[in-house]
A and B are shown apart, each in its own frame.
Chain A
Amino acid sequence: MSTLTEAPPPLAPQAPASKPPKRRGRFTPYWLLLPGILWLVVFFALPMIYQASTSVQTGSLEQGYKVTWHFATYWDALSAYWPQFVRSVLYAGTATILCLLLGYPLAYLIAFRAGRWKNLIMILVIAPFFTSFLIRTLAWKTILADGGPVVGALNTLHVLDVTNWLGMTAGDRVLATPLAVVCGLTYNFLPFMILPLYTSLERIDGRLHEAAGDLYARPWTTFRKVTFPLSMPGVVSGTLLTFIPAAGDYVNADLLGSTDTGMVGNVIQTQFLRVLDYPTAAALSFILMAAILLMVTLYIRRSGTEDLV
């Protein structure tokens, strides 16, 4: 096994001089790609185009829709649902920061301190994935129940006073408040933060830490100057893998929140599946997509890891 994993990187494509290229082989990559790419074009790219056209249609479900280039739908959707947009970015952003703060120590623990417990901890991080995430999210209803031990503890520690002041909770309740939604989002997307963090921490040569120590760096300085910068690829991909799905999620806001905590996902779902106002729903999901692509591009530019994707 070890000979394989330590094999040198794949050689550069062979110069055709050594072997005459087979005529048959010229189209091979296209034949290999054809079925899968066709699938993605028909069921991923084409739907996006359909959705773009739906978003500029007017009409009704009974009389049918027509493309009328009615761009006002975008404006109407945005002005009616901007609070949900703001909430999505706010909740997903908070959850991403919490995931980073919570996930980093665990990823660090697995990478450097776990020893022979490494595999077991890894299993315990991944295994909850296999219990349906809806069941686990429902369990948070029990955990955060009114008058339960968690709410009691937060009350005793005066955490609820702070979150009340921040507008994250209301009174003695946690359930059906923004705090519950953020807690659910953080929980659900935490593994997506831990795994890339672990992968990039794992790659760091332990001798760099020793070297920093030899140069009289204190542990905190070593972390700040050596470990953290080297783990940046993991931080960037972890935050993206957390933020993007969290911003589009509507399950947490629905199960743990109230009508005052609706996110864009909730609006899109309601407009599409209950109100059946397809143009508005299509416009909303286009705005969401554009906003996320814009934020992601800016973020990747700023963090300087463009080779990530």
Chain B
Amino acid sequence: MPFVNWLKRNLVVLAGLLTLGYLLLPNVVVTVFSFNKPKGRFNYEWQQFSLDAWKDPCGVSGLCGSLSLSLQIALWATLGATLLGTLIAFALVRYRFRARGAVNSLIFLPMAMPEVVMAASLLTLFLNMGAQLGFWTILIAHIMFCLSFVVTAVKARVMSMDPRLEEAARDLYAGPFQTFVRVTLPIAAPGIAAGALLAFALSFDDFIITNFNAGSTVTFPMFVWGSAQRGTPVQINVIGTTMFVVAVLFVLVSMLAGNRRNRQKA
């Protein structure tokens, strides 16, 4: 039975590909339904092919506004979390000091906490302080929960760094600032970039924490949430498809660039 033998040998591959299909199925559905012309308010059933939504992605009131708000928040949150997180990561890897254990747990806890718990407790704080919910409270919350992920990403990279490279720079009479900018930073850069990318993705996609602390401000995930109740415009699928394609292209291009750089060095 050659077929049974083949099946036995490739069972893992088949199971893995099935899982990959499970992961990608919703993206396929989102893409296909971005070409739909729905009857009524909800875009859950296939009716008719149409390019209407692709021609006019901002045709729904509030959608592109929420998208640009989400982009702004994600950019500022990435900047803030990456800056604060990189400093913490360097302090944790490079120095021995008291309270190191406490700092490590404080970094770990936000990642081990269900989002809804953090969201609710932050709202309690804001209500007690009488803070106006909106852009600033969202930004504060996003920097808070992205911080730990940046620290983890940067820490991993700095830990694998050879401290002798910096010693060599100092031996060649580089000042502390010069050593940092010319040697330390370039080596840590991939870790910092990974942390920043993670922070951007997390912030841009966050719904639970934002929903609690946004007041009447509407980010893109909150717009999608609202539309699930009121009626989902096809434009949401257009945006979803675009995000997927842009992400794949971005990763492909950065990988190709990395490959070429490695080949040039070799």
Task: Give Cα distance in the complex from A272 to B128, angstroms.
Answer: 14
Tell me whether B87 and A33 are in contact (CB under 8 A). yes
Task: Give Cα distance in the complex from A7 to B160, angstroms.
Answer: 7
Task: Give Cα distance in the complex from A240 to B109, angstroms.
Answer: 13
B105-144 interface code vs A (CB 8 A; 1 in, 0 out): 0111110111111101111110110000000000011011
Interface presence of B257 (CB below 8 A) = no
A-facing residues in B49-94 (Cβ within 8 Å): 84-85, 87-88, 90-91, 93-94
| B185 contact set on A, CB distance < 8 A | none
Task: Give Cα distance in the complex from A140 to B25, angstroms.
Answer: 9
Tell me whether B23 and A125 are in contact (CB under 8 A). yes
A66-82 interface code vs B (CB 8 A; 1 in, 0 out): 00000000000000000
A35 to chain B, nearest CB (A): 5
- Report, as a range, how many residues of chain A touch the other chain: 35 or more
Task: Give Cα distance in the complex from A203 to B90, angstroms.
Answer: 26
Interface presence of B169 (CB below 8 A) = no
Tell me whether B244 and A131 are in contact (CB under 8 A). yes
Interface presence of A103 (CB below 8 A) = yes
Candidates A32, A40, A107, A130; contact of B91 at CB < 8 Å: A32
B-facing residues in A93-151 (Cβ within 8 Å): 102-103, 105-110, 113, 119, 121, 123-143, 145
Interface presence of A216 (CB below 8 A) = no
Tell me whether A110 and B114 are in contact (CB under 8 A). no
| B110 contact set on A, CB distance < 8 A | 40, 44
Tell me whether B205 and A278 are in contact (CB under 8 A). no
Chain B CB within 10 Å — which of A30, A33, A132, A286 has the most?
A: A132
Contact A273 to B212, CB < 8 A, known contacts A33-B88, A128-B244, A187-B22: yes
Tell me whether B143 and A190 are in contact (CB under 8 A). no
Tell me whether A43 and B140 are in contact (CB under 8 A). yes
Tell me whether B44 and A102 are in contact (CB under 8 A). no
Tell me whether B201 and A123 are in contact (CB under 8 A). no
B-facing residues in A1-55 (Cβ within 8 Å): 1, 4-5, 7-8, 10-11, 13, 28-30, 32-33, 35-37, 39-41, 43-48, 50-51, 54
Tell me whether A134 and B91 are in contact (CB under 8 A). no
Contact A37 to B103, CB < 8 A, known contacts A131-B30, A134-B224: yes
Task: Give Cα distance in the complex from A124 to B19, angstroms.
Answer: 11
Task: Give Cα distance in the complex from A113 to B16, angstroms.
Answer: 10
Candidates A102, A123, A132, A309; contact of B22 at CB < 8 Å: A102
Interface presence of A235 (CB below 8 A) = no
Closest to A246 in B: B114
28 chain-A/chain-B pairs, Cβ below 8 angstroms: A1-B262, A7-B160, A10-B161, A29-B94, A32-B95, A39-B147, A43-B122, A43-B141, A44-B110, A47-B124, A51-B120, A106-B16, A119-B255, A124-B248, A127-B251, A129-B247, A131-B30, A131-B244, A135-B224, A136-B27, A138-B236, A141-B44, A142-B44, A245-B115, A248-B208, A251-B207, A272-B120, A292-B114
Residues in chain B within 8 A of chain A (CB atoms): 12-13, 15-20, 22-27, 29-30, 33, 44-45, 84-85, 87-88, 90-91, 93-97, 103, 106-110, 112-118, 120-125, 127-128, 140-141, 143-144, 147, 151, 159-164, 187, 201, 204-205, 207-208, 211-212, 220-221, 224-225, 228, 232, 236-237, 239-241, 243-244, 246-248, 251-252, 255, 262, 265
State the 4 A-B residue pairs at the shortest beta-carbon distance, nearest first. A248-B114, A109-B16, A130-B247, A36-B84
